[in-house]
Amino acid sequence: MFNDNDSYLVVAIKFILTVLTLSAFVFLIVVSLSIVNCNNMKEITGMETKYYFVSGCYIKAKAGWIPAGRCARLSINNNTENT
């Protein structure tokens, strides 16, 4: 990747491109895992789900689309109140 003949500028550019490539790869993995997690939420709840790139996973409820994190908190609160 780096040769002894490369100037500092070429080495810096190669380094930056490597870091950007790795960052993009990690970003794609994180987004892919978020989509899979949202699909799993659909299987767990039996309710329709949608994944939005910026804001995450939503579950369709009677009141409309609710963020999946909020649904989880409501579920936990309801379970603790009933015990």
User: pLDDT tens-digit profile of 2-57?
Assistant: 566 668 888 889 999 999 999 999 999 999 998 898 888 888 878 888 998 888 89
With contact defined as beta carbons under 8 Å apart, do 56 and 68 qualify?
yes
Model confidence at 79, pLDDT cuts 50, 70, 90, reads: very low
* Cβ neighbours around 73 below 10 Å, total: 11
Render 68-83 in DSSP notation, one character per residue: HHHHHHHHHHHHHH--
Copy the structure tokens of residue 60. 């369709």
pTM higher than the cut 0.95:
no
